[in-house]
Amino acid sequence: MLVVTGGAGFVGSNLIEALNQSGREQILLVDDLTDSSKIANLTDLTISDYADKDEFLTDIERNGIPEFVKGVFHQGACSDTMATDGREVMSTNYVYSKKLFLACAGVGIPFIYASSASVYGKEGPFHESGEGEKPLNAYAYSKFLFDRYVSSERARINNQVVGLRYFNVYGPREDHKSRMASVAWHIVAQYHEGGVVRLFDGSGGYGPGEQRRDFVHVQDVARVNLFFLDNPSISGLFNVGTGASRSFNAVALAAINACRDVDGDPPLTLSDAQDQKVLSYFPMPEALTGKYQSFTEASINQLQSVGYLAPWTTLEDGVSHYARQRYQALKAN
């Protein structure tokens, strides 16, 4: 049996879907379902059991990892980058992760966990060497510190341990994330509500909507996780992104035109969308001033060096398909 913590969340539920598609159905889903909206992510998935996240950890502390568990995907976290309760963030993301990591190490089973590109701060460089790590908020610091802790323990453990630094993930099963959902999710919601989309004005030396991120489809993220499950001799810390940054304007245009296609309207160019005020801009909120990543781009050399050479979903294909699917669902409700 495999354990997926955060299994009802965005990446976790897509990972379970990928496991099911690969023929794996013996899955223990661990999560906190206080927010029952996450259950919508689970209705088409096959699992063998469920455990509340706190009860799961208590049981492990008392009895250790059950013998039937053959590996753990640790995706659970407080993922709110604007969270102000640092104590809660550190308890959930750092302390919990340490205990689970040590339990897996104690019985020698694979531990594959979600880190984050947020550890790189505003400027990078965005590679795993450590020199660009400048976390800007409690969430980023919790991920940064756990990566450092795992690195310090590597010499004395024998099990597979893989940390995956996700860049800007988007795709299905993120409705429950609300304000922390991807920019693609928000763009479709805006277009559905009023036929217009607004992005941040220029920042960090970039013009309006020209800030650039490495946008990666959630199904690609799930495939990377499965690659390491299937290659248990490989351990390490790896970026998970496409290796190519794209502008927020590019995401917006792909999503807008997917929605327009559903409505039977012709596609727009970027200048058309701007001229017609379908796409406009607003000032950066004060809460994000000085804390906003205007540019990210994953260095994926380390991931490629261990044999992960699968193609990445293009932004045009990934955003267009996702936006069309989400817009149709919104129109149906």
SS3 (DSSP) at 192? helix
Q: How many helices (H) and strands (E) are present in the chain, helices listed first?
A: 11, 13
Residues in the chain: 333
- Tokens at 95, concatenated: 């302390």
Angle at 33 between CA 30 and CA 36, to 5 degrees: 140
**Annotated active-site residue in 113, 139, 170, 327:** 139
**Annotated active-site residue in 70, 177, 291, 308:** 177
Active site residue 139: yes
Q: Which long-range contacts (CB under 8 A, 24 or more apart) does 58-66 make?
A: 60/99, 60/100, 60/103, 61/99, 61/103, 64/103, 64/106, 64/107, 65/103, 65/104, 65/106, 65/107, 65/109, 66/1
Active site residue 327: no
Longest dimension (CA), the chain: 64
- At which residue do the structure tokens 């296609």 appear? 261
Residues known to be catalytic: 139, 177
